[in-house]
């Protein structure tokens, strides 16, 4: 059966494109239990169906190979966007990425305090930054205690991170890949995150 969905199934399952079958199965079981319609607290029939579709595709070697072939071009374009944006001022680009991550996690926690997390691959897609570049920014934000990793592997903003966002006078709404505004206008500056602010813990 051909794979025709435009969904990012790796994002849906919150796993790496390099995840093995065991990891995909383990994550699916966790999400399926949480989202199953019979779960009175966290059940979500629509998301359960999406997660199940993603699992059926990624757990089948033939369907996964077909899916990966279709999405290879998208991942290549993400790299191109990042490289072009970083060519002018890589330090400023890094700052925009970090503030973009904080902004998304702030919005997610504000919308649902009981389920405030986002997977790294969802963040990667929304910010427009490949996984290899996200690792540095995730490390930096964790060292400052602005974000934390949850038991389910997702990331969430901390109280210190909320303070970091709300204390700034900067608009924290995303403007597209790497927070670049439309029309070629200069993006609003990110509140400066100096290396000296990195905690020793």
102 contacts 141 by C-beta, under 8 angstroms: yes
The Cα–Cα gap between 141 and 121 comes to 16
**Predicted local distance difference test score (pLDDT) of residue 180:** 35
31 contacts 142 by C-beta, under 8 angstroms: no
Q: What is the pLDDT averaged over residues 103-121?
A: 83
The Cα–Cα gap between 58 and 31 comes to 15
Tracing tokens 């649902």 back to the chain, one arrives at: 112
Going by pLDDT thresholds of 50, 70 and 90, the confidence category of residue 188 is: very low
The Cα–Cα gap between 67 and 10 comes to 10
Residue 74 or 149, more confident: 149
pLDDT digits (tens, 9 = 90+) for 4-33: 456 778 878 878 777 889 999 999 999 999
Question: In 3D, which of 163, 120, 157 has the Cα closest to residue 17?
Answer: 120
Question: In 3D, which of 107, 112, 149 has the Cα closest to residue 126?
Answer: 107
pLDDT digits (tens, 9 = 90+) for 42-74: 889 998 999 999 999 999 999 998 888 877 665
CA 143, chain centre distance (Å):
18
190 contacts 99 by C-beta, under 8 angstroms: yes
**Predicted local distance difference test score (pLDDT) of residue 58:** 93
The Cα–Cα gap between 159 and 50 comes to 31
Sorted by sequence, the CB contacts under 8 Å of residue 111 that are 6+ apart come out as none
Question: Per-domain residue ranges for the chain?
Answer: 9-73, 89-197
The Cα–Cα gap between 15 and 120 comes to 8
**Residue 156: beta bridge partners?**
148
pTM above 0.85, yes or no: no
89-197: which CATH topology? Arc Repressor Mutant, subunit A (1.10.10)
The architecture that CATH gives domain 9-73 is Orthogonal Bundle (1.10)
């Amino acid at each position: 059966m051909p794979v025709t969905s435009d969904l990012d199934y790796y994002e849906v399952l919150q796993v790496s494109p390099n995840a093995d079958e065991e990891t995909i199965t383990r994550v699916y079981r966790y999400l399926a239990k949480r989202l199953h319609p019979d779960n009175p607290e966290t059940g979500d029939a629509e998301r359960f169906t999406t997660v199940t579709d993603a699992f059926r595709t990624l757990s089948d070697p033939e369907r996964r190979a077909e899916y990966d072939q279709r999405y290879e071009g998208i991942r290549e374009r993400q790299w191109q966007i990042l490289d072009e944006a970083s060519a002018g001022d890589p330090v400023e680009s890094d700052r925009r990425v970090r503030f973009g991550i904080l902004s998304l996690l702030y919005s997610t926690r504000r919308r649902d305090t009981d389920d405030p997390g986002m997977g790294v691959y969802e963040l990667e897609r929304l910010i427009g930054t490949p996984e290899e570049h996200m690792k540095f920014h995730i490390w930096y934000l964790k060292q400052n205690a602005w974000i934390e990793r949850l038991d389910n592997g997702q990331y969430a903003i901390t109280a210190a991170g909320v303070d970091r966002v709300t204390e700034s006078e900067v608009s924290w709404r995303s403007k597209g890949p790497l927070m670049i505004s439309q029309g070629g206008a200069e993006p609003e500056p990110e509140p400066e995150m100096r290396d000296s602010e990195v905690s020793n813990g």
